[in-house]
């Protein structure tokens, strides 16, 4: 029972649907881990994420987060203080007319002293690279900038768990890198637990664990290296290979003997350079 997030035989059906969106999902996520969740559109990955801070409650089974049953309504605020959630569309997440007020919204609601709020807001904006925009109006920012403000709002809560549901879908490459490195840093420096739902295969490479959902079930569960070496499985699940994995596969098929393992850019280049030099 050392999981900070625990799914026990969870089923979920949206009222308007015939089919279940989650089917018998059992899952334990360790504190401090980085879990990436992949799957085609409609596979249930967003539904899974929304169970982690009680936006959705299981129709059957239960979800425990930091020891709290998400269906335990009196403890809902306590639960949401532990779990910050970032969504795909930043326009639905911004509430204030000035960037720094938006980021301060949640910590203000925690009843923190003003100096502490100031510190958290500045630190959060700094971490997402938006400090210089603190006095701007959010609606005049670009989509990517708005998303970074939304992430700052979550970081300012200093939660133990951050759940990101396709947070980079609307960002440019630099924005994506900034968000991802911010998330990785929060995990490294503060021991935060990270759950990242994404369509970008590359974003899964630094994860400790990769879950692939298909038709509401967990279809694959392993390290990125394990999962990205199963070409046929990925095709069945509607996923791509990261470019590094694709290259290593094609070079092996052409007869090159390459060491296995690393899927990050440097690791891949090292493996290829070893046979060429």
Interface contacts to another protein, rule CB under 8 A: 39-42, 88-89, 137, 140, 142-145, 166, 169-176, 199, 201-202, 238-240, 242-244, 246-247, 250-251, 254, 256, 265-266, 268-270, 272-273, 275-277
Using a 10 angstrom Cβ sphere, with 0-12 exposed, 13-18 middle and 19 or more buried, the burial of residue 184 is middle
- Could you tell me the smallest distance in angstroms from the CB atom of residue 42 to another protein? 5
Nearer to another protein, 74 or 277 (CB): 277
- Could you tell me the smallest distance in angstroms from the CB atom of residue 83 to another protein? 23
- Could you tell me the smallest distance in angstroms from the CB atom of residue 84 to another protein? 21
Nearer to another protein, 71 or 137 (CB): 137
Do 95 and 109 touch, CB atoms closer than 8 A?
no
Nearer to another protein, 110 or 262 (CB): 262
- Could you tell me the smallest distance in angstroms from the CB atom of residue 74 to another protein? 35
Do 4 and 160 touch, CB atoms closer than 8 A?
yes
- Could you tell me the smallest distance in angstroms from the CB atom of residue 188 to another protein? 23
* The pairing of beta strand 68-69 with beta strand 83-86: unpaired
- Could you tell me the smallest distance in angstroms from the CB atom of residue 244 to another protein? 7
Do 53 and 252 touch, CB atoms closer than 8 A?
no
Nearest of 228, 157, 191 to residue 30 by alpha carbon: 191
164 C-beta neighbours (distance < 10 Å), count:
25
Nearer to another protein, 61 or 143 (CB): 143
Token pair recorded at residue 168: 């980079």
Nearer to another protein, 16 or 115 (CB): 16
Nearer to another protein, 110 or 251 (CB): 251
Token pair recorded at residue 26: 């059992």
Nearer to another protein, 1 or 254 (CB): 254
What SS3 state is found at 30? strand
Nearest of 38, 56, 90 to residue 209 by alpha carbon: 38
Do 109 and 80 touch, CB atoms closer than 8 A?
no
Q: Which residues contact 182 (CB under 8 A, 6 or more apart)?
A: 127, 128, 151, 155
- Could you tell me the smallest distance in angstroms from the CB atom of residue 264 to another protein? 10
Do 79 and 70 touch, CB atoms closer than 8 A?
yes
């Amino acid at each position: 029972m050392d999981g900070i997030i625990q799914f026990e035989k969870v089923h979920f059906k949206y009222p308007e649907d015939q089919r279940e969106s989650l089917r018998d999902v059992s899952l334990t996520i360790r504190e401090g881990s980085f879990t990436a969740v992949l799957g085609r559109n409609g596979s249930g990955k967003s539904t899974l994420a929304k169970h982690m801070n009680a936006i959705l409650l299981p129709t059957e089974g239960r979800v425990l987060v930091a020891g709290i049953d998400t269906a335990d309504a009196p403890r809902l605020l306590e639960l949401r203080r532990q779990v910050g959630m970032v969504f795909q569309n930043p326009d639905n997440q911004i509430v204030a007319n000035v960037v720094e007020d938006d980021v301060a919204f949640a910590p203000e609601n925690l009843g923190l002293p003003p100096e502490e709020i100031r510190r958290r807001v500045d630190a959060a904006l700094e971490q997402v690279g938006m400090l210089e925009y603190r006095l701007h109006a959010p609606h005049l920012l670009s989509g990517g900038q708005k998303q970074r403000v939304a992430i700052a709002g979550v970081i300012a809560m200093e939660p133990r768990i951050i759940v990101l549901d396709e947070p980079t879908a609307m960002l440019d490459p630099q924005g994506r890198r900034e968000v991802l490195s911010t998330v990785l840093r929060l995990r490294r420096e503060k021991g935060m637990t990270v759950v990242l739902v994404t369509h970008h295969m590359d974003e899964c490479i630094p994860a400790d664990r990769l879950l692939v959902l298909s038709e509401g079930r967990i279809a694959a569960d392993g390290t990125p290296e394990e999962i990205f070496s199963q070409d046929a499985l990925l095709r069945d699940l509607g996923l791509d290979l990261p470019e590094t994995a694709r290259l290593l596969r094609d070079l092996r098929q052409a007869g090159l003997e390459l060491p296995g393992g690393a899927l990050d850019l440097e690791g891949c280049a090292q493996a290829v350079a070893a046979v060429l030099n």
